Structure 1
Amino acid sequence: MSDIIETVTRYFTRADGSYLFARWGRPIAPVAFGVEESTVAILKGAIEAVCQLAGHEMAETDPELGSNFMVFFLRDWQELIETPNLDRMIPELGALVERLKAADANQYRLFRFEPDGGIKACFVFIRMDDAMAELPAETICLGQVVQSIVLWSDQAFVGSSPLALTGKDVAILKPEIASVIRAAYDRVMPVSADDPSHALRLAARLQAQH
């Protein structure tokens, strides 16, 4: 049990040592920019699959925001600056773009939160560099959805992916990550938590799954 607690705690402990967890409190209403309709369908399929795993809902539109899960596919980070009205939704956009350029990043996720701490919206930015271009669209979409369905630690997947490759080079969600998502969306669990005791409750539910 102590190993499970340690693993779960690590998933939500940030680089500064603080514990922070959040999940979606409203149905996910996605939209994608910069890709063909076929990729949009793949993205929605990935969201549907992960929502089904979590017991969460999707929606065509969000009554307040229109879309609350926005995915941007880009060739260059500068394209974000040139996207109309994006700076209204993300006031810190200019500084963010400079940080992403400096880090030579190829992906970034930005969350907005409800008053109760649950996830209200998520912006996903994917720069299609050489490494990303080598991946199938199914792998990119599933990976991003999994990393957006809860607020993982900024260290959670450093050096390891939440996905695993099957013998046919098809990416699937690792069973242990699927179990954490399922437990995190248990109805008796809170939509957000900043106390490490939350990890104890998650670990108990993981044990109950087996």
Structure 2
Amino acid sequence: MDEVQGPEMPGVQDAPEARKGDRGRIIIICVVAVVLALGGAGFLAANLSTQAEQRAEAEASAASASAAAAADASASAEAKRTADNAASAARARARSVAEEARKAAERADSELKQMEARGWTSAGNQMYFQYLSDSEFTCGRWKCTFLDVVSMAPNGCPGGIYVAVSIDRGEGSIGSTNEITAGLPTGKVARVKLEDTSNQGDGFQITKMNCHM
């Protein structure tokens, strides 16, 4: 008995090929997704790296600025200390000089009072003179005067004391004369003779006394 075959079913044999096409599309989609994912990860990594570099640069700049500020502050503090020390030393020197000047003035005042009490007249710079009375000397051919001079300076006058006088007549001066002593240590008295070789004067007046060193 012959087998009866039914009619062929169209499209039934095409199903495996259709499934192959779907798998291909799925693979492509997966590859694209992977590529996109990898690309996104690379972009993210690059972005994170850039941000890290920027943060590092910002931190380095901040650290450098902080160090510079600290250095400036340290230099300023050192300069202030130096200036304060210099000012303090200057004030100390000024006080010392002022104190020494005060003591020197006190000594000079005391010395002056003592010398005046003994009949001496100050010529300045710790030099003093004292006229002798007429009964204490004789002149000879020319009119003259005698005076004693002394230096109370610590070193005296090693080169002597120079004395210059005006020769007066009435209210005016008609001439001058001068002398210089030998070298004098402090406190040693020298006697000076001054003559009027015109014999026209009636008095003498000291105009200058210098200590020669």
State the TM bucket, normalised to the shorter chain.
under 0.3
Higher relative contact order (CA 8 A, sep 6+): 1
Higher helix share: 2
Give the structure with higher Rg (CA): 2
- TM-score, normalization by structure 2: 0.19
